[in-house]
């Protein structure tokens, strides 16, 4: 295994090279994902017209009866890491196969899963698929996402088959710049702000329950024997702060920076889908999304 050590001066040099050299965008994205560590703010686009969003990629669209209008965008087609926004597709695949993924049935969260992730204090016990799904969408639980993907109820079982289902769905939905390598987003999965917005629009009209779950403030998680209990708390700090939120998802890794999806709906049955990729911290994704929402919601 090769260890990558990038001095700060080299990291800054790479940033300026990418900013001021007219190389292919796909090659830029490759260099960023492979060699460039945060701070990501060196690559932010300065947005004019009285709205400046400090992020690598932004889009805001209004959707009425399935038809969309772009309200604001900046670098919306740029391929970037999406961190735990990945879990929107993880949930989408589960909802696409209701017979195979009976949410009332239980699966075991194994020691193998906990050794790989182990970031939420789960124990090796049986949990209902429903509880694991709620843990994914409310607190972005990696153990739950991995366990559900590992227990694929098809002839070809295992994580690789679930990832194939995710990528097959992306292809079916014409998300041509989206690629998944995991169900969690801990490894580098790619998409664009525009394609995440498109996936969100499809979820609204096909599996709205995904977003309904994502707005629950908390949910009690317990194993089937009720020996293990804890409360999954929502990570979206904008719930209760901005009006009429009907869905959302957060994400963060060192490579991706802060990512967030926010869905609002007004009294005219108009949906506002906002996507931000690549803020410089977990906290700033909420600050930037609040600015974006306040500028676009109701327009």
Catalytic residue, from 140, 183, 214, 293: name it.
Answer: 140
Torsion angles phi and psi, residue 241, rounded to 5: -100, -40
**113, 150 Cβ separation under 8 angstroms:** yes
Catalytic residue, from 62, 87, 235, 265: name it.
Answer: 87
CA angle at residue 83 from 258 to 160, to 5 degrees? Answer: 180
- Beta strand pairing call for 190-191 and 80-81: antiparallel
Please say if 140 is a catalytic residue: yes
No. of H helices and E strands in the chain? 10, 11
Catalytic residue, from 84, 183, 191, 200: name it.
Answer: 84
Write down how long the chain is.
Answer: 299
Please say if 99 is a catalytic residue: no
Helix (H, G, I), strand (E, B) or coil at 64: strand
Please say if 87 is a catalytic residue: yes
Q: Directed axis angle between helix 8-20 and helix 25-35, to 10°?
A: 170
Measured between alpha carbons, how far is 167 from 287 in angstroms, rounded to an integer?
A: 32
Helix (H) or strand (E) holding 147: helix 142-150
Give the catalytic positions in this structure: 84, 87, 140
């Amino acid at each position: 295994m090769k260890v990558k050590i990038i001095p700060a001066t080299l990291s800054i040099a790479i940033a300026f090279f990418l900013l001021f050299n007219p190389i292919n965008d796909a090659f830029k994205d490759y260099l960023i994902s492979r060699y460039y560590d945060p701070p990501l703010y060196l690559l932010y686009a300065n947005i004019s017209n009285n709205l400046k969003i400090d992020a690598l990629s932004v889009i805001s669209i209004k959707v009425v009866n399935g038809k969309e209008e772009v309200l604001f965008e900046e670098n919306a087609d740029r391929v970037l890491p999406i961190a735990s926004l990945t879990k929107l597709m993880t949930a989408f695949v589960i909802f696409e196969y209701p017979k195979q993924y009976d949410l009332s049935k239980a699966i075991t969260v194994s020691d193998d899963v906990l050794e790989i992730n182990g970031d939420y204090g789960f124990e090796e016990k049986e949990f209902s698929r429903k509880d694991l799904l709620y843990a994914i969408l409310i607190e972005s639980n990696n153990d739950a996402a991995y366990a559900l993907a590992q227990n694929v109820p098809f002839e070809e079982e295992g994580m690789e088959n679930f990832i194939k289902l995710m990528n097959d769905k992306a292809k079916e939905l014409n998300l041509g710049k989206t690629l998944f390598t995991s169900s969690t987003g801990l490894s580098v999965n790619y998409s664009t702000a525009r394609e995440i917005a498109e996936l969100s629009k499809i979820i609204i009209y096909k599996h709205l329950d995904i977003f309904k779950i994502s707005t629950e403030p908390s949910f009690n998680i317990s194993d089937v024997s009720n020996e293990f209990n804890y409360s999954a708390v929502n990570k979206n700090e904008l719930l209760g702060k901005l009006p009429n939120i009907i869905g959302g998802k957060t994400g963060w890794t060192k490579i991706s920076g802060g990512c967030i999806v926010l869905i609002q709906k007004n009294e005219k049955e108009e949906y506002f889908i906002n996507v931000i990729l690549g803020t410089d911290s977990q906290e700033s994704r909420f600050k930037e999304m609040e600015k974006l929402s306040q500028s676009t919601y109701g327009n």
